[in-house]
């Protein structure tokens, strides 16, 4: 099983629509570790790491997000796995 990591920046109407809680829930279901947080500029940032197929599935799902979200873009860059256990919402 290949472990990979991605850093995401999600833009659009993604704050105030439970995007962080949705991301944490989907990450738990897929077995992805890392974190998610709101950025001051109105975007959401996330660090995802875990099995390659699970991380890529979550990256794809981030284009939809929770029902009220209106995602404009998901920028994904490769990152180094940091050994996270679990998934947290950062403030």
Pick from 66, 60, 7, 14: nearest CA to 41: 14
Active-site residue identified among 6, 20, 24, 26: 20
20 counts as catalytic? yes
To which residue do tokens 């709101």 refer?
38
38 counts as catalytic? yes
The H-assigned helical ranges of the chain are: 19-30, 52-61
CA distance 83 to 71: 28
Active-site residue identified among 9, 37, 38, 91: 38
CA distance 13 to 28: 23
Query: What residues are annotated to the active site?
Result: 20, 38
């Amino acid at each position: 099983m290949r472990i990979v990591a991605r850093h995401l920046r999600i833009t659009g109407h993604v704050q105030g629509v439970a995007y962080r809680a949705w991301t944490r829930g989907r990450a738990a279901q897929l077995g992805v570790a890392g974190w998610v947080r709101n950025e001051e500029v109105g975007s959401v940032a996330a660090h995802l790491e875990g099995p390659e197929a699970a991380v890529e599935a979550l990256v794809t799902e981030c284009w939809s997000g929770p029902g009220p979200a209106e995602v404009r873009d998901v920028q994904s860059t490769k990152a180094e796995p940091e050994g996270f256990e679990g998934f947290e919402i950062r403030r």
